[in-house]
């Protein structure tokens, strides 16, 4: 299972220069929550627009020129290439600058960088997606990828939660997956909410309640660090081996290409060898600083 196989990553470098962004145009903006937005975009250059591809799990470096660059996964699926998407939570100068942009604004894009979800391993398996908050963004790319190639995968379970009803991202996806008979969708919020008549409970606890079988399955997990740390033991309890648990890690990144140094865990660079890792690989990391 070649999770760190980076050979399938494609390089679309502007003038062969890994630091030079392509110009992209924002086509649509969706407010997911009070502090989170999804941006739909396309490259200005026609040829690139036609030729660009990526794999689920990869990320880009998005620029607001004059403010800086920030790292976000590509949250759309490669099976739906009419446009690209990324999702931004407002936490600092670049993310705030992105949120101030309107449709038609031009941004920079470098990528796709990083490795991707190991489709060769996942094909034929039952997929259990476990996500919290904006952590659904990278998984969303893979979920639609799987649904668009439904015959390649077994059962699909999705367990998704957020702090409150207002913090649920991609509500339009949650609706669609709820309605999809081939998908078992469970949505939860952390605490009781007047606006919510659905399930209540932290994602790891709800995962245990749903109790998907580990046989012939793989779990793909993404969310706040605390959620991930509590989810792995539940998956272990359910019989998932470390190889069967896959996640995508977040680190402060700048170059995105394994040069500036800061995203390392030992001799692994999350931007270049990741961000997708199995828990088996993570256990072999030099430290728990992930």
Partner 1 sequence: MKKIKKQELARLLQQWQADYTVLAPSRATEVAAMAEWDGKDIGFLEWYRNTVIPPKEVILPNMEELFRFQKEGAGYRLTAAAPEAKQLVFGIRPCDARALAIIDLVFQDTYPDDYYLSRRQNTLLVGLGCTRPCDSCFCTSMGVSPGESGDVDLMCTDTGDELMIEGITAKGKELLEKTGGLAEASPEDGSRRQEAIEQARQRITRHLDTGGIAEKLQRSFEDKEFWERIAAKCITCGVCTFLCPTCYCFDINDEKTAAGGGARFRNWDSCSFAAYTRMPAENPREQKWQRVRQKVCHKYEFYPRLFNIIACTGCGRCIRLCPVNWDITETLKSVPAPTTT
Partner 2 sequence: MKDWEARLRTEARKLLEQGEIEYLIGFAPGSLKFTTTPLITGNKEDAGLLVINPFITNNLSVFLNETRGRTGIVAKGCDARAIISLIQDNQVAREKVFIIGVPCPGIIDLRKVEKLTGRDRDELDDITLAGERVTVTWDGQPREFPAAEVLRDDCLDCTSPAPREYDLLLGEEAHAGAAAGRGKSKIRELEALPPERRWDFWKNEFSRCIRCYACRQICPACFCERCFVEEAEPHWVSPLPAWQENLLFQATRIIHVAGRCVDCGECERACPVHIPLRLLTGKMEDIVDELFHYRAGMDKNEPPLMTAYQPEEAEDFIR
The interface with partner 1 within residues 55-114 (CB under 8 A) comprises: 63, 65-69, 91-92, 104-106, 108
Of 241, 262, 283, 284, the residue at the interface with partner 1 (CB under 8 A) is: 262
Half-sphere exposure of 150 (CA within 13 A, CB side): 9
Q: Which stretch binds partner 2 (CB under 8 A): 55-63, 90-98, 172-180, 201-209?
A: 90-98
Q: Which stretch binds partner 1 (CB under 8 A): 50-58, 152-160, 193-201, 248-256?
A: 248-256
- Asked if 68 is part of the footprint of partner 2 (rule: CB under 8 A), the reply reads yes
Cα dist. 89→9, 92, 97 in Å? 26, 9, 11
The residues near 171 (Cβ < 8 Å, ≥ 6 apart) are 32
Q: In the complex with partner 2, which residue's Cβ is closer, 93 or 182? A: 93
N residues, the chain: 290
Of 2, 8, 10, 19, the residue at the interface with partner 1 (CB under 8 A) is: 19
Q: In the complex with partner 2, which residue's Cβ is closer, 10 or 93? A: 93
162 neighbors 227 (Cβ within 8 angstroms):
no
Cα dist. 156→145, 180, 188, 241 in Å? 12, 10, 17, 18
Q: Which does 200 bind (CB under 5 to 8 A by kind): partner 1, partner 2, none?
A: none
Q: In the complex with partner 1, which residue's Cβ is closer, 18 or 200? A: 18
Cβ neighbour number for residue 222 with a 10 Å cutoff = 29
- Asked if 196 is part of the footprint of partner 1 (rule: CB under 8 A), the reply reads no
Count of residues binding partner 1 (CB under 8 A)?
48
Q: Contact positions toward partner 1, by CB under 8 A?
A: 6, 11, 13-21, 23, 25, 44, 63, 65-69, 91-92, 104-106, 108, 224-225, 250-252, 254-255, 257-264, 266-267, 272, 286-287, 289-290
Q: Contact positions toward partner 2, by CB under 8 A?
A: 68, 92-94, 96
């Amino acid at each position: 299972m070649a999770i760190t196989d980076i050979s399938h990553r494609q390089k679309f470098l502007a003038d062969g220069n890994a630091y030079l962004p392509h110009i992209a145009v924002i086509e649509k903006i969706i407010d997911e929550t009070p502090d989170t937005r999804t941006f739909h975009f396309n490259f200005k250059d026609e040829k690139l627009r036609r030729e660009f591809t990526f794999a689920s799990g990869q990320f880009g470096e998005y620029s607001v020129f004059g403010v800086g660059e920030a790292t976000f996964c590509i949250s759309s699926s490669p099976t739906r290439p009419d446009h690209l998407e990324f999702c931004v939570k407002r936490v600092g100068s670049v993310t705030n600058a992105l949120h101030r942009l309107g449709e038609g604004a031009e941004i920079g894009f470098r990528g796709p960088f990083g490795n991707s979800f190991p489709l060769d391993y996942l094909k034929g398996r039952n997929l259990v997606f476990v996500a919290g908050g904006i952590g659904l963004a990278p998984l969303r790319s893979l979920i639609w990828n799987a649904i668009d190639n439904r015959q390649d995968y077994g059962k699909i379970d999705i367990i998704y939660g957020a702090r409150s009803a207002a913090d649920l991202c991609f509500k339009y996806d949650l609706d669609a997956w709820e309605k999809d008979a081939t998908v078992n969708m469970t949505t939860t919020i952390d605490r009781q909410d007047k606006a919510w008549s659905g399930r209540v409970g932290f994602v790891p606890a709800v995962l245990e309640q749903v109790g998907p079988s580990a046989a012939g399955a793989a779990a793909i997990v993404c969310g706040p660090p605390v959620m991930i740390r509590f989810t792995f033991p539940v998956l272990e309890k359910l019989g998932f081996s470390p190889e069967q648990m896959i996640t995508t890690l977040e680190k402060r990144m700048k170059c995105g290409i394994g040069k500036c140094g800061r995203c390392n865990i030992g001799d692994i660079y999350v931007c270049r060898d990741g961000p997708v890792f199995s828990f088996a690989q993570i256990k072999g990391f030099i430290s728990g600083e992930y």
